[in-house]
Amino acid sequence: MVMQPLLPAKADGAYRTIGELSRETGLPQHILRYWETRFPQLKPLQRAGNRRYYRPEDVALVQRIATMLNEDGYTIRGVQQALMAERKRPAGPLPASSIDAILSVRDSLARALEQDLG
């Protein structure tokens, strides 16, 4: 058995190759390539020789898909529908309770600043 040298961990924001992502997630590379055909949201950059580079948001999506399939019991179709529903959901206005909470924090910060300056 050939031992792979231990490589230093990449920074969270670094791009990952398909091999690195496969090792980090424990998912086979052919599964990652298959998911690219089933989930249009998963689009890693492809460079010369079709070498894939997964951005941090791609890595997060892969982890989310894996969780939904392997832990939450979703089917491929179920995950597709859930992800599509999220894309279609409009970002509405903040609820009044959130606005009240934000204004309360703003007012307490303003009072604290006045006390520090006064």
Q: What is the pLDDT of residues 3-49, one digit of tens each?
A: 555 555 677 788 999 999 999 999 999 999 999 999 999 999 998 88
- What pLDDT is attached to residue 69? 96
What's the whole-number mean pLDDT along residues 78-93? 83
Residue 6 lies in a domain: no
pLDDT category, 77, cuts 50, 70, 90?
A: very high
Instruction: Specify the higher pLDDT residue, 62 or 97.
Output: 62
Dihedral sign of CA atoms 41, 47, 50, 53 in order: negative
Q: Could you report the per-residue pLDDT of 43-66, keeping only the tens digit for each?
A: 999 988 889 999 999 999 999 999
Residue 38 lies in a domain: yes
Structural domains in the chain (count):
1
**Structural domain for 30, as ranges:** 16-90
Residue 75 lies in a domain: yes
Residue 104 lies in a domain: no
What's the whole-number mean pLDDT along residues 84-92? 76
CATH number of the domain enclosing 83: 1.10.1660.10
Q: How far apart are CA 41 and CA 6, in angstroms?
A: 32
